[in-house]
Amino acid sequence: MEIDEYIIKTREYFHEYPELSFKEYKTADKIEEELRAMGLNPKRITETGIIADIKGKGNKTVAIRADIDALPVTEENKVPYVSRNEGIMHACGHDTHMAMLLGAAKMLIADKEKLNGNIRLIFQPAEELPPGGAVDMIKHGALDNVDYIIGQHIMGFLPAGHVAVYYKEMMANADEFDITVHGKGGHGSAPQDAIDAIYITAHLVEMLNTIVSREIDPRDPAVITVGTINAGYRYNIIAAHSKLTGTVRTFSLEVQEKIIKRIGEILEGLKSTYGIEYEYEYKKGYPVLINNEEISRDIEEVAEKILGKENIEHPKPDMGGEDFAYYLQKIPGAYYFFGASNITKGINSPNHSPTFDVDEDQLYTGARILKEAAMSILNR
């Protein structure tokens, strides 16, 4: 079987049998099976995390990472390889990440005599579920004796055959907050005898949105999003309690700490004004993903040779989060985006959508970029 056909077939297998974060047992079994068939000796260093080494000449080692988990999304695509696991879908493209890394491994093995060093393949669980799988992989030796690391993410916003390169900051701090407002319930006809948790929560949401618009320097990117609000019992009952959750995205520690403090101050103000009680929990998530500029330029040079300069993009940093950031805190490396959409084929849904899909004709190119970028870094 040709490598391009192998990558597509393997991707479709993973797509049919997705598994959630930290539960990727059959996925890991399949990865190990494929690696052993290539003559490699994979090691399961966490329950579902795998590494495998391709030995070349020299002591330098470049790691290539692919994440392997799926999302709790019910697929709506009408394709032969539709998910068979109800309510679970590879809606973020991790099926392609695994397949492209396996394809790159085949190509690297074929060129093993040209390797001026070693390649480590990292198949990481649970990118989608904080605290993520990267920290545990690092703890159990994924980066031991590794000098550099690279990775790619397939993206629905980017046309197929395009690569987005970021020289420094690429993705944001990705944090979470949980707030519970405790008021005083009562009858809907007598608001004077109650403390309306829904009314106060509406004020809270409005005030949260003014933090970024009126208190953060507009030159410092920041996002506050309230994602859920749950409150109330019945149409004629004033709610005693309200719970909301949301996310904060920032690129600077100073801005992150200011937002944490201001949310608490706003809640204290509402307590003083309306007599509420509250619970406030702020959870710091994945840190800022900061690329090494030299490694990013190595990747860009390879992608330009394969795809042409006109297909290389340099977007502004993305407000999404990614636990690849933890690897980059330890060793030099870079992450980049690879295009998935093809409007003429009807493939144009965003990542995490129930209709997300990719232009499979580009997967071989993605594998080539991984392979040749790793070799270029070894030759630096």
Catalytic residues: 286, 360
Find out whether 362 and 340 touch, Cβ atoms under 8 Å. Answer: yes
Q: How far lies 133's CA from each of 92, 127, 136, 198, in Å?
A: 16, 6, 6, 37
Q: Looking up tokens 């849904």, which residue turns up?
A: 349
Backbone angles phi, psi at 282, to 5 degrees: -115, 125
Distance CA 27, CA 17 (A): 8
Contacting residues for 120 by C-beta, under 8 A, at least 6 apart = 51, 52, 53, 54, 61, 62, 63, 64, 142, 146
How many other C-beta atoms are found inside a 10 Å radius of the C-beta of residue 199?
17
- Would you mind telling me the total number of residues written for the chain in this entry? 380
* CA-wise closest residue to 47 among 70, 69, 16, 14: 69
Joined together, the tokens standing for residue 36 give 């052993």
Q: How far apart are the first and last CA of the chain?
A: 33
* CA-wise closest residue to 333 among 321, 343, 323, 325: 325
In eight-state DSSP terms, residue 332 is -
Whether residue 159 is preceded by a cis peptide bond, meaning omega within 30 degrees of 0, is: no
Joined together, the tokens standing for residue 318 give 């993305």
Distance CA 93, CA 84 (A): 16
Q: What is the dihedral of CA 235, 238, 243, 249, to 10 degrees?
A: 90
